Amino acid sequence: MATENKNLSDYDKSTIPDASKFRFGIVVSEWNNTITEGLYKGAYDTLIDNGVAATNIIRWDVPGSFELVYGCKKMQEQMVNAVIAIGSVIQGETKHFDFVCEGVTQGIKDLNVMRETPVIFCVLTDNTLQQGLERSGGVHGNKGTEAAIAAIKMAELRRNS
């Protein structure tokens, strides 16, 4: 496994653009909430750590990962500089996993291609609950942290383009 015994969420703060003037939307799936709450905490704490005021972070909850696409579309209308989509889909015994993962991935891709506000994909697609826990604040760091850094960088790209 490429991420074994590595925390991939460390970043050099000096390389991150000034985020103090940006507003961010975070859309969080309620499904597998132990994982999504960990991802949210990582994203929120990272935005705060990089100068974003708490009042400039808007959180909306949606029932599941499939609903992230609609939630993010509506969040793009809220005068935010970037949106972070947080979800967790865990492999089960049916094809439901495949359909949800493909739908969410394509939907978020479509929002990025067709609209101006970037949407950051922070949807874990794991085989087990343990893998999700390891990537939402565990041994492999926090993908929410990584998504927040990506959101700051994409907000800066949008501002400068």
Catalytic machinery residues: 96
Distance of CA 99 to the CA centre of its chain: 20
Amino acid found at 110: D
Beta bridge partners of 142: 136
Residue with tokens 């922070």: 122
Four-point Cα dihedral 135, 121, 35, 88, nearest 10? -110
Contact 26, 40 (CB under 8 A): yes
**Do 111 and 73 meet the contact criterion of CB atoms below 8 Å apart?**
yes
